[in-house]
Structures are given as structure tokens and as C-alpha cells.
């Protein structure tokens, strides 16, 4: 039987009438202890609330978003829970696991690896889509029928690909500065080669533009915010590729280019309320 049974509370603080918690559990998918943050709004004291998953970017843990995004005030107002998983397994001891910021620890890319040794533990896709939702649904008052997903950079890639592959599970989708086509950028090429091997055909299942080309998206508009002063814009992010894929398939995309904004959490904090209110319309 897969799935954790014991949930350890690391911390819980009162926040805007709700609670901001950090928790740890042993993961069957990753073979190690995993941490996640969970904000519960005050409405969770009276019944089940909708849930938004936030997927973070390279080098992040659950802490970056919990501390820097300023999400709790508006989430409390709207009555939405926010779950924030880590970005990779930690401490598996694989050779090279901690050698680079863009592969291994902190860089799971939300895939299920198929290459040794990564395939034993680097299963962040299954962790985020199966194991973590089962745990949160068992332990906390959230409504599994009202779930959305969003993320930043590598996590924007994760949010896009996960929702596109599981449209029945996610009612809303947005991203900040997403890696829209890892098949066509250095970060993605490195990660997908390492985790999935050299056959580029297998990469399409983890590329948002390829998934839109293959499957489309029948949900509400996809919201994307992108700073035009982002240092990774042209080399790694390439939002125009997402625009082209969506246009070709008739997918509604609200791509907002934000003048002067970069890739940082100052950018995220500036527009996080827009994203929460967007998701609230569909949750």
C-alpha cells in the first residue's frame, strides 16, 4: 500500500484568522521525508474549502512561497487553502545530486524520472498528483472537487503540464514566468536528458506547448504573468511559444507582460492577489 500514514507537524502559526502550517511525512514516491506548507483559511473551521497547489521554482523549498509571496491575507478573505510542496526529494545520496542548482536537489522538474538512479526517488509528478493530494485530503478539510494549480518558473512548467494532463482534477490554472517548453531551453534540456534519457519523444509528455498541441485545454483561460525585465526571458522561458501553441489550438490564454518586472518574489508578490482572485472565480 502506497501513501503515508503519519504526518508530523513542524510548525503552525495563526495567520489572518487561519493557520499557516509546515508538515513532514515519509513519502513512498520519493523514498524520503518530504515537507510541505499548507495555509488553511478561517472558513476551514466550518467545513471543506477549495485548495490551490503552488509549485515553486529552481532551488526553492516550501518556505520561499510561504514567507515571501504574501498570499495568506487574500487567501483568508477568499476562503482558499494553499498547499506548497517541496521541489524535489532531499538527501537520497545519488552521485551528483547536489552539484548544480538546475538538476538534482531543488530541481525535480515535476517529472517521474525513468533514468537510473533518479527513477527510484525523483517522482515529483506522482508525488504532486497522487500522494500529496491523498494525504492532504485525509488529514485536512479541503474539497477534492475544487482544486486549482499555479506555480513559478520550473513550478510554472509543473503547473501547466500537470493540469494539461489531468484536466478533470484541476478547475483552474495559472503561472508566473513559466518554463513553457523545456524541450527548447537549456534548463529543460539538461533536466529532461538527465531524468528521462536522450529520446526527445519522451520529453513531450512534460512540455506544455507539446501537450497543448496534442490535447488542447477545455478549462477556463490560462493566466500567465511574465516580467519583461526577467533575465531568463529569452533564453529559458520563451512565453511566445506558449502563445503560439494556444493560438493554434484555440486555447484561451491571458498572457500579461509586466513592464519592468523581473523573476523574483517581488514580482510574484506584486500580482499574487490577481491570481488568487482569478482562481476563486472557478473554485
Q: Rounded to whole angstroms, how far apart are CA atoms 272 and 277?
A: 9
Cell 531543488, residue? 106
3-state secondary structure of 38: strand
* Contact indicator for 66, 20 with CB cutoff of 8 Å: yes
Q: Rounded to whole angstroms, how far apart are CA atoms 121 and 116?
A: 10
Q: Rounded to whole angstroms, how far apart are CA atoms 11 and 23?
A: 7
Give catalytic residue positions. 153, 230, 263
Whether the ω angle into residue 117 lies within 30 degrees of 0, i.e. cis, is yes
| CA 111 vs CA 34, 115, 155, 183, 223: distances in Å | 16, 11, 11, 13, 22
Residues in the chain: 283
* Contact indicator for 108, 88 with CB cutoff of 8 Å: yes
Q: Rounded to whole angstroms, how far apart are CA atoms 283 and 81?
A: 11
Find the DSSP H helices in the chain.
62-68, 72-78, 124-126, 132-139, 154-165, 186-196, 208-215, 239-249, 265-282
Q: Rounded to whole angstroms, how far apart are CA atoms 206 and 220?
A: 21
Q: For the chain, how big is the Rg over CA atoms in Å?
A: 17
Phi/psi for 29 (5° steps) reads -70, -40
* Contact indicator for 141, 44 with CB cutoff of 8 Å: yes
Phi/psi for 176 (5° steps) reads -110, 125
Amino acid at each position: 500500500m502506497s501513501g503515508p500514514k503519519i504526518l508530523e507537524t513542524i510548525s503552525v502559526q495563526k495567520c489572518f484568522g487561519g493557520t499557516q502550517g509546515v508538515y513532514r511525512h515519509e513519502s513512498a514516491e520519493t523514498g524520503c521525508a518530504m515537507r510541505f506548507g499548507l495555509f488553511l483559511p478561517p472558513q476551514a473551521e466550518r467545513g471543506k474549502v477549495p485548495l490551490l497547489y503552488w509549485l515553486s521554482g529552481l532551488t526553492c523549498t516550501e518556505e520561499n512561497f510561504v514567507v515571501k509571496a504574501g498570499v495568506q491575507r487574500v487567501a483568508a478573505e477568499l476562503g482558499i487553502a494553499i498547499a506548497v510542496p517541496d521541489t524535489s526529494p532531499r538527501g537520497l545520496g545519488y552521485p551528483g545530486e547536489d552539484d548544480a542548482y538546475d538538476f538534482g536537489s531543488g530541481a525535480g522538474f515535476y517529472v517521474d524520472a525513468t533514468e537510473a538512479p533518479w527513477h527510484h526517488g525523483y517522482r515529483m509528478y506522482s508525488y504532486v498528483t497522487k500522494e500529496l493530494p491523498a494525504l492532504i485530503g485525509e488529514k485536512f478539510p479541503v474539497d477534492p472537487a475544487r482544486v486549482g494549480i499555479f506555480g513559478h518558473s520550473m513550478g510554472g512548467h509543473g503547473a501547466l503540464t500537470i493540469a494539461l494532463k489531468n484536466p478533470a482534477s484541476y478547475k483552474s490554472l495559472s503561472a508566473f514566468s513559466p518554463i513553457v517548453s523545456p524541450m527548447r531551453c537549456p534548463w529543460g534540456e539538461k533536466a529532461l536528458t538527465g531524468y528521462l534519457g536522450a529520446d526527445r519523444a519522451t520529453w513531450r509528455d512534460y512540455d506544455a506547448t507539446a501537450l497543448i498541441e496534442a490535447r488542447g485545454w477545455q478549462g477556463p483561460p490560462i493566466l500567465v504573468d511574465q516580467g519583461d525585465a526577467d533575465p531568463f526571458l529569452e533564453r529559458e522561458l520563451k512565453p511566445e511559444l506558449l502563445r503560439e501553441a494556444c493560438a493554434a489550438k484555440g486555447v484561451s490564454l491571458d498572457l500579461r507582460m509586466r513592464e519592468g518586472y523581473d523573476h523574483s518574489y517581488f514580482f510574484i508578490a506584486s500580482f499574487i492577489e490577481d491570481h488568487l482572485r482569478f482562481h476563486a472565480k472557478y473554485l
